[in-house]
């Protein structure tokens, strides 16, 4: 029976070619024949503009295009690393860009899809940074710079992010329970799927007096992680190892 797949936080990077190879294999095997593939942010470790056509970017785009042409629609959401993905990327790779948040009907269950960073409201420093880099004026100014300058800026931003993250408590960088409840109530859903925190799990909770679920997708730093959903339910799996315990 066809199923629907959800992944996030691949952080594809030329310095980690094995993960790119794993993803390309996933596109050509596991994703083909599925009803849809949703990539909920941070497909790339960094994306400095749709005009950056490096070898890895071209290979990933080709893999996505082949997958969609084989009949599997691919939906891509911006993450906190690849927020500059644009219409040219989507057209060239055959994908559809999703808003963050996006509400879908998943086998008759209203489901909210998010990258997840919007839920980390306790990290006020990051939320301010997010507001800045998502501003259309800021993005336009950045994209007007030469590619080499953008590459240098991206490296500086990544280094700064690693330094800031190392000094923060783990709890601050996780989702805020109140924010989860508010957004699920706002969108009238009993299921939320997101990434960003790199803490794969299926959490049972209660929203408006009704049973609900928050499903967190895993990252691809060590191995691939995928959420497989069908009319029977959803299961977190590793690409190579099967169900995640």
For residues 199 and 186, the answer to whether their CB atoms sit within 8 Å is no
- Please tell me the distance from the alpha carbon of residue 78 to that of residue 60, in angstroms, as a whole number: 16
pLDDT of residue 192: 98
| Domain housing 226 | 4-243
- Please tell me the distance from the alpha carbon of residue 210 to that of residue 76, in angstroms, as a whole number: 30
Question: Which residues 6+ apart lie within 8 Å of 65 measured at CB?
Answer: 92, 93, 94
pLDDT of residue 244: 45
pTM over cut 0.85: yes
Per the structure, the count of domains in the chain is 1
Question: Which residues 6+ apart lie within 8 Å of 219 measured at CB?
Answer: 8, 9, 10, 11, 195, 198, 225
- Please tell me the distance from the alpha carbon of residue 67 to that of residue 25, in angstroms, as a whole number: 11
- Token pair listed for 205: 């909770």
- With H, G, I as helix, E, B as strand and everything else as coil, classify residue 223: coil
For residues 39 and 193, the answer to whether their CB atoms sit within 8 Å is no
Say how many residues make up the chain. 245
- Please tell me the distance from the alpha carbon of residue 76 to that of residue 71, in angstroms, as a whole number: 16
pLDDT of residue 168: 61
- With H, G, I as helix, E, B as strand and everything else as coil, classify residue 226: strand
Estimate the share of the chain in helix, then strand, then coil, as percent rounded to the nearest 5: 35, 25, 40
Single out the residue of 187, 133, 192, 195 nearest to residue 160, CA to CA.
133
CATH code of 90's domain? 3.60.21.10
Question: What's the distance, CA 144 to chain centroid?
Answer: 26
Single out the residue of 196, 204, 199, 198 nearest to residue 233, CA to CA.
204
Question: What contacts 24+ positions apart, CB below 8 Å, involve 235-240?
Answer: 236/200, 236/201, 236/202, 239/22, 239/26, 239/30
* Cα pseudo-dihedral 190, 184, 214, 79, rounded to 10: 130
- Please tell me the distance from the alpha carbon of residue 175 to that of residue 121, in angstroms, as a whole number: 7
pLDDT tens string, the chain, 245 residues long: the values are: 679 999 999 999 999 999 999 999 999 999 999 999 999 999 999 999 999 878 899 999 999 999 999 999 999 999 999 999 999 999 999 999 999 999 999 999 999 999 999 999 999 988 998 999 999 999 999 999 998 899 888 888 777 777 666 656 666 678 999 999 999 999 999 999 999 999 999 999 999 889 999 999 999 987 789 999 999 999 999 986 444 44
């Amino acid at each position: 029976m066809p199923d629907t797949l959800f992944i996030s936080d691949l952080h594809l990077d030329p310095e980690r070619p094995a993960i790119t190879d794993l993803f390309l294999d996933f596109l050509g095997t596991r994703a083909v024949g599925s009803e849809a593939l949703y990539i909920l942010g941070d497909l790339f470790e960094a994306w400095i503009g749709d005009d950056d056509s490096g070898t890895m970017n071209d290979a990933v785009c080709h893999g996505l295009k082949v997958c969609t042409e084989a009949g599997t629609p691919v939906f891509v959401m911006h993450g906190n690393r690849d927020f500059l993905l644009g219409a040219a990327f989507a057209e060239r790779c055959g994908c559809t860009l999703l808003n963050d948040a996006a509400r879908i009907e998943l086998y008759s269950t209203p489901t909210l899809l998010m990258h997840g960073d919007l839920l980390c409201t306790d990290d006020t420093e990051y939320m301010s940074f997010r507001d800045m880099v998502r501003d259309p004026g800021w993005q336009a100014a950045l994209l007007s710079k030469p590619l080499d300058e953008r590459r240098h800026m991206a490296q500086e931003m990544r280094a700064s992010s690693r330094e800031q993250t190392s000094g923060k408590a783990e709890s601050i960088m996780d989702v805020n329970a109140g924010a989860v409840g508010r957004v699920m109530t706002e969108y009238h859903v009993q299921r939320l799927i997101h990434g960003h925190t790199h803490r794969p799990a299926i959490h049972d909770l209660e929203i408006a007096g009704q049973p609900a679920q928050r499903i967190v997708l895993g990252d691809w730093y060590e191995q691939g992680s995928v959420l497989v959903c069908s009319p029977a339910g959803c299961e977190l799996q590793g690409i190579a190892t099967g169900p995640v315990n």
